[in-house]
Amino acid sequence: MILKENYSRLIKEKALKFGFQSCGISKAGFLEEEAPHLENWLKNNFHGEMKYMENYFDKRLNPTLLVEGAKSVISLSYNYFPEQEIEKKGNFKISKYAYGEDYHEVIKEILRNLVSELQLEIGEFGFRVFVDSAPVLEKAWARKSGIGWVGKNANLITKKHGSFYFLAEIICDLDLVQDLETTDHCGTCRKCIDACPTQAIISDKIVDGSKCISYATIELKNEIPDYFDGKMDDWIFGCDICQDVCPWNRFSAPSLESKFRPNLEKLNFRKPEWKDLTQEIFSEIFRKSAVKRTRFAGLMRNIELASKEN
């Protein structure tokens, strides 16, 4: 037991040292509570054309199928809230998480360095690191580990930091001390539900992804349905509305990670510059950005749709 406690404490100390906001631990196993919710979400086609969500159903619910001998899920959060926002008034908008470099690469490198340092002190152990790119129910594990609660907009929220952070996991074969879940503090607040221009938040903690602006501008590769006409609110990559109106995000503080600082060229862009974007400029400016996911053609499609509203 002493070894478990020492390892757990060491992991949390190292996580803070490497820049993570929060670190919680839960026991690896089958997510019995989440299973029917995921099944119903898929049956209702709330994932739209994100067909990859239908894959690896069992692995999404059981990390021991992803990492042989897994005993613990270490959940971590990393702040990305920008020091300076891109001008929104009379401008096109992109999600704050895409202001800087692609978080998948940045955080995965930090995780690998964290694990390497842990192994120097603990010894070798089996593990895999995950950053939003594998069949892992990140919010479920973060909730179980006590990092925060799942809000009505289906984002993970904390009293101290709000929700502008990335989630990551280290699934490992270390036997660690499990943390306790926190309580829900959304209360009767409906700000995120009422603010969503596409009514994507259909009930408490359930989002119809196929109606979400982020889905339309990032995940959807085909033509954007007429449903979104007049509802884009100038968003061309992602959407932060439900987070911007969340009262808990008044506690958001700027990220200390230099790689997440806003690209100065993006900060200076206004509608004329966005509309005149070329493949060459796109490739240069968004080379290390998550925006490259939508590709040049996809971004120009989004700009064209958003422009119809003006």
pLDDT more than 90, % of the chain:
92
pLDDT for the residue 210: 97
Angstrom distances, CA of residue 278 to CA of 39, 187, 223: 42, 46, 20
Tell me the CA end-to-end span of the chain in Å, nearest whole number. Answer: 63
Query: Is residue 118 within 8 Å of residue 136, measured between CB atoms?
Result: no
Please check the confidence at residue 266 and state whether its pLDDT lies above 90. no
CA 116 to CA 127: how far, in whole Å? 11
pLDDT for the residue 3: 83
Query: Is residue 158 within 8 Å of residue 248, measured between CB atoms?
Result: yes
Using the CB atoms, write b or e for 105-137: b if 16+ within 10 Å.
ebbbebbeebbeebeeebeebebbbbbeebbbb
Please check the confidence at residue 268 and state whether its pLDDT lies above 90. no
Nearest to 228 by CA among 205, 252, 211, 251: 211
Please check the confidence at residue 20 and state whether its pLDDT lies above 80. yes
> Model confidence at 262, in pLDDT bands (50, 70, 90)?
confident
> Model confidence at 310, in pLDDT bands (50, 70, 90)?
low
Nearest to 75 by CA among 142, 174, 175: 142
Please check the confidence at residue 81 and state whether its pLDDT lies above 80. yes
**pLDDT tens digits along 171-229:** 999 999 999 999 999 999 999 999 999 999 999 999 999 999 999 999 999 899 999 99
CA 113 to CA 126: how far, in whole Å? 15
> Model confidence at 8, in pLDDT bands (50, 70, 90)?
very high
Please check the confidence at residue 1 and state whether its pLDDT lies above 80. no
Please list the residues that pair with 59 across neighbouring strands.
none
Query: Is residue 294 within 8 Å of residue 237, measured between CB atoms?
Result: yes
**pLDDT tens digits along 109-154:** 999 999 999 999 999 999 999 999 899 999 999 999 999 999 999 9
pLDDT for the residue 38: 96
pLDDT for the residue 265: 83
pLDDT for the residue 94: 96
3-state secondary structure of 246: coil
Going through 57-213 in order, the beta strands assigned E by DSSP cover 72-79, 93-94, 127-130, 149-150, 156-157, 165-172, 201-203, 206-207
Please state the pTM of the whole predicted model.
Answer: 0.95
Locate the domains of the chain by residue range: 2-83+97-172, 191-245+262-307
Angstrom distances, CA of residue 175 to CA of 72, 75, 159, 196: 6, 15, 29, 42
> Model confidence at 308, in pLDDT bands (50, 70, 90)?
confident
Mean pLDDT value of segment 89-106: 95
Enter the tokens of residue 189. 């607040």
Instruction: Please say if 132 is a catalytic residue.
Output: yes
Q: Which entry of 132, 173, 233, 244 is annotated as an active-site residue? A: 132
